[in-house]
Structure 1
Amino acid sequence: MSSIAALSTPLTPSPEARLAFSELLLGCDEARTCAEAAVSWLMRHTQAEQVLCLAPDESDSHCLVPLASSGMPGVEGFVLALHETRHPLVEALQWNEPRWHPPGPFAPELPPSRGGLYTLSLGRASPGAPPPGLLLVSSGSAELSGDVKWLATHLGTHLTRLYKGRQLTRLEAASSELAARVNAATEELATQNELLRRQAIQLEQASAAKSQFLANMSHELRTPLNAILGYTNMLLQGVNGEPPPAQRRSLSRIDSNGRHLLEIINEILDITRIEAGRMPLHLSEFRLPELIQEVMAELDPIIVRSKLAVSAALDPHLPEVHSDRQKVKQILVNLLSNALKFTHEGSIKVKTSYEVATATLHISVTDTGIGIDPAHQEKIWEDFQQVDNSPTRPYGGTGLGLSICRRLAAMLDGRVALESAVGQGSTFTLYLPRRARRP
């Protein structure tokens, strides 16, 4: 039986008609074609008098538009913004079961239903998934036909398949374009790294040359990126006029990703400056409790979003420290950020103490996070290394944070230690001498 023949069967559809319709949907590669076929099927095989299918727009997943309709005049230009949570159609998206509405107007943008209106959600919204669609059916029957429920389920499944496929295609295209740009931008660096790999006999000299090269690239890398961030910020502030909401969202994403890239570049440059011996020390007297409170205040937005119980047990009688305040702060920011990143529930506690016999201050950050297997605890201190280095790892980052912490601690005559077990959390402790030697 052909697909056209299946759509021309009597009012009560046979199992063969359902199967033919399912095959027709599988052959559709456009959401609008699926919706038009579904509306036509309902009008032919059920007692539906009015049908409207709303689904995500091709260019904007934040709104629903009519993909197909029958008996619903004047809905062609209708756009349903999903952020309007009080709109009756947006509320209908969250209903698990079909609902019936008496004859008359249901939503101000729609013509009144003649025999009562059923609303059926074509799926439930979930993080990372395309928004669901909505099917509105008006019929002379007091009860909703099981065929309508069956069709809504199948149509929702196929629309989700199409939207996810389109998103994947776009992601692959963007990924390919980004990969091409990265390859072009790092071609010279890759050549240098390959040369370094082959010069095994001169490994020490080659490593120093690499570090020097990257350190010298700081101006070339950061100057254009700072310009991009500067102009993006000016546009967000409305220097050239208030941008439309869609442009503001895009500019905000550019700004967020640009700042993330700048953090990565700065981490790489910190490593190279340390290796090249160009990381200066600025020693001064300061108090640790004040510094820790400053770190926690800077990370407060992340702490609030994490919904973790973050506390500090700070000894008010700690002696002043003679060290590089900025570098101690950088270590503590890294350790607390890691604890927030790898802890999904529970608590994080920052604690300080002073060992008089060795004149050493201890600052520990203890979390109830995922923990680290003892077999991997030495690996995490190496450059560009994480416990999971696979492309599909769930946690991002360059793998430089802890390496920088260890190197900075060593510059300050201190060290960073770890105690951890899988599933039992971790404790990172910075041991810092009360007085660092002057360089």
Structure 2
Amino acid sequence: MSIDQGRPERVVVVGASAGGLATAEALRRLGYEGAITLIGDEPHLPYDRPPLSKQILTGELEPDQVMLRPAADIEALGLDLRLGERATGVDLSRRTVTLAGGTVLGYDALVVATGVWPRRLPGTDGIRGVHFLRTLEDALTLKERLRPGRKLIVVGAGFIGAEAAASARSAGMDVTVLEPAPIPLAHAVGAQVGQVLARAHLDHGVDLRTGVAVAEVGSGGGEVTGVRLVDGTEVAGQDVVVGIGVRPNTEWLAGSGLRVDDGLLCDEFSMAAPGVYGVGDVARWHNPLFGVSMRIEHRTNAAEQGLAVARNLLDQGRRPFAPVPYFWSDQYDLKIQAYGHLRGAEEVAIVDGDPGTRRFLAAYRKGDRVVGVVAVNMPPKPLRQWRTAIAGRQAWRAAVAGDLTSVK
């Protein structure tokens, strides 16, 4: 039976990370008994990526502790599990996925959950000591080089770069962070919160340089020797972490007819084409709660979207995927949590605490409604209340005045 005639007999999920696994688990939990093929280009069972730049680097967690599920739980799902295999193409008319080895798999429903790739600096291929943080191997390789007295250069002060810098400082390394923007993370959380995070790095001994651009990574004998900036400044170091953003892993969809524009384009149901859905970092979908197209690179969203896609794919309570996005970051003694759609906010207000003490809550406005909140070292209850306010499209003035009486 094809998906056009009812419940699909064969579901192929490409991408065996959080989003792909969440989709497969949700299908089984919802009673689906058909064939599920889960394809992953890494040899590992599905694992959690957020700890790579934090607990794996610091040694708080070992690789087996970041696996999303024990092997027995994966086996119990009854999947056609294909790890260490890469999808290279899709034929929408024939409803097939082609793998790198030439295998062609038929599907009735296809879930694209292939995530993102880190952007690379030109001219760095083959230089030992240049690091990216996307895979478990990436993190373990960097961890072995985090030793007291060594010098690490972090290019890009986004969340990955900031977390790597904090982990390296905890290991006793000298750390220089190079960021082209005047205030780190201002594009994501606003200038005021960005300044608080910048000050934390400075207070922990990081050499944070903003408003600078990298010209090239220097090397000698195949090893990193440092970085040269556009203004000619030389920064010495034995290792370089590149955290300059990511690009959606959609190259394998070229020629398929699926629409791609900074991600796989999907509607409010996360559907890209009849029988084809997007999940996680790779999916750009219309979120009706905020009325915008968004692509979210955070773990929680991947899991929630996997569940929503499973329901929609099986036509069980089919409804738009309209979450309040959530993300978190641990840097030094800072626990940073955020809900909502912060980018492009027209106003930011500190509604609780004091940024000077690094314990506060900031609310974000677009139009006449609250659309986001960031909490630093705050208890969970008020954050949950603000999440409910965002989901309920609460009026800005009432929210910042503390009128959350309608929020339970």
- Larger Rg over CA atoms: 1
TM-score by length of 1: 0.21
Report 1 or 2 for greater relative contact order, CA contacts < 8 Å, sequence distance ≥ 6: 2
TM-score by length of 2: 0.22
* Structure number with higher strand proportion: 2
